[in-house]
Amino acid sequence: MTAYYNEIDPHAAQHLRNLIDAGHIAPGVVDTRSIEDVTPNDLKGFRQCHFFAGIGGWSLALRRAGWPDDRPAWTASCPCQPFSAAGKGLGFADERHLWPSAHWLIGQLRPVVVFGEQSSSKDAEDWIDLVQTDMESLGYAFGASAFPSAGVGAPHIRERTYWLADTNREQYEERLSGCREGDRQEAGWLAHPCGEGWKGGVSGGQDAAREAVNGYAGCDSTDSRPGPVNGFWGAADWLFCRDGKWRPVRSGSFPLANGVSARVGKLRTYGNAINVEAATAFITAYMATVDNV
């Protein structure tokens, strides 16, 4: 077993076990306790640790990016509800603000690299600032990029901020020493959507970051716009809905109806899942930077 998956939702946890058994994600164990109850000893021996694992999107994205199952990595897509319209707007006062627990475990075991994802709402910017401060205080290099799912060819917006923290901070500082601001774009830095960096963090320009991500998305480089014949979603079926809008669904899908087994659980887990194509593009861009140094 190379991977540890932490997920409290029973339906998602069973989904993870099924995906492991089917070989779709890295082999491992599923822990349904709260991350607040997990200790460093629980994680020893695992090459990869996925917190708030959902239905294993990060593991699948790592595989699609060419990241071997035995290559170390942690992922932590902390709950977005405290910092998005999906929640009550409580922010750091929300009991689902669980980054402190993830930060503590990272500080205890110092994984080589940590990938994460969060809402790109205005309210989430302070959360990203906190994560950057916490990771840099541990000696990690930090980067973040907010981009929509449309950036990898999806026919919808769903903008999210993808972030990473890497232990080899000296490597990046050496690469950036003496560089002009414009040169940082070529150095592979990721960007705040405003192109300004996360309030002083080492970041590049918005256009460079999005071009880097789109370049690894597997879409036609001459047209990265979302559409019915573009990228991973090229085979989607389009349904005309009662509100007058067309919406894409997986080809061959049947409309939802009473009697579909575990319908509510499936919708909840799918709705909380990351966009695997976006995560794959983000990981691939990271690999192209660090593996070619």
Q: What is the pLDDT of residue 179?
A: 46
Q: What is the pLDDT of residues 114-139, one digit of tens each?
A: 999 988 877 778 889 999 999 999 99
Task: Using alpha carbons only, give the angle 151, 156, 159 rounded to the nearest 5 degrees.
Answer: 60
Q: 3-class SS at 144?
A: strand
Q: What is the pLDDT of residue 64?
A: 96
Domain extent at residue 266: 3-290
Q: What is the pLDDT of residues 8-30, one digit of tens each?
A: 999 999 999 999 999 999 999 99
| 186-214 burial code (b ≥16 CB/10 A, e <16) | eebbbbbbeeebbeebbbbbbebbbebbb
CATH code of residue 117? 3.40.50.150
pLDDT along the chain (293 residues), means of 10: 92 94 96 96 96 95 96 89 65 75 96 92 84 94 89 80 85 51 40 37 37 39 48 75 81 62 63 86 92 69
Contact 112/141 with Cβ under 8 angstroms? no
Residue 190's φ and ψ, nearest 5 degrees, are -95, 165
Does pTM surpass 0.85? no
Q: What is the pLDDT of residues 68-91, one digit of tens each?
A: 999 999 999 887 766 666 666 666
Q: What is the pLDDT of residue 195?
A: 37
How many domains in the chain? 1
Backbone dihedral region for residue 91 (phi beyond 0: left; psi -120 to 50: alpha; all else: beta): left
Q: What is the pLDDT of residue 181?
A: 45
